[in-house]
Amino acid sequence: MNQKAQLRLLILSVLERQPEHGYAIAQAIKTRSAGVLGAKEGNLYPALHLLEKDGLLSSTEVNAGGRTRREYRLTEAGHRELGRARSEWHTQVQAVQSVLAGGHT
C-alpha cells in the first residue's frame, strides 16, 4: 500500500466514528498513532478533496466558535471502501509478518 492509499485509509478510519474538520483529522491520526504518523496539510486537504470527488466523503460548512469550517463525513460508499481497504491492509501486514518471520520457502 503506497503512502497515498495509506493516508486515504487513515482518513476514512478517523471519520468512521464521527464527522470532523481537517485539523481534527490530522490530530486524530497523530494521537491514535502515538505520534508515529502524521498528515501534513499539503497532503491531507488534497486527499480529502479527492475522497469527496470519488464519493467516499461528503462535506458541509459548519460554524464553530465564530469560524466557518468544512466538516467531512463518510458516505455509504466510504464505509464500504473502508472495509475493503482494511481487508487489503490486513492481508499486506500478514504477508510482511510472514516474510519477517521466515515464512514458507
Structural domains in the chain plus CATH codes: 3-100 (1.10.10.10)
pTM reported for the whole predicted model:
0.90
How is the beta sheet containing 67-74 ordered, strand by strand? Answer: 20-21, 67-74, 57-64
Query: What is the residue-averaged pLDDT of the chain?
Result: 94
The cell numbers describing 65, all together, are 466558535
How far apart CA 52 and CA 74 sit, in angstroms, is 9
Tell me: pLDDT of 48 over 90: yes
- Which residue has cell 503506497? 2
pLDDT tens-digit map of 50-79: 999 999 999 999 998 889 999 999 999 999
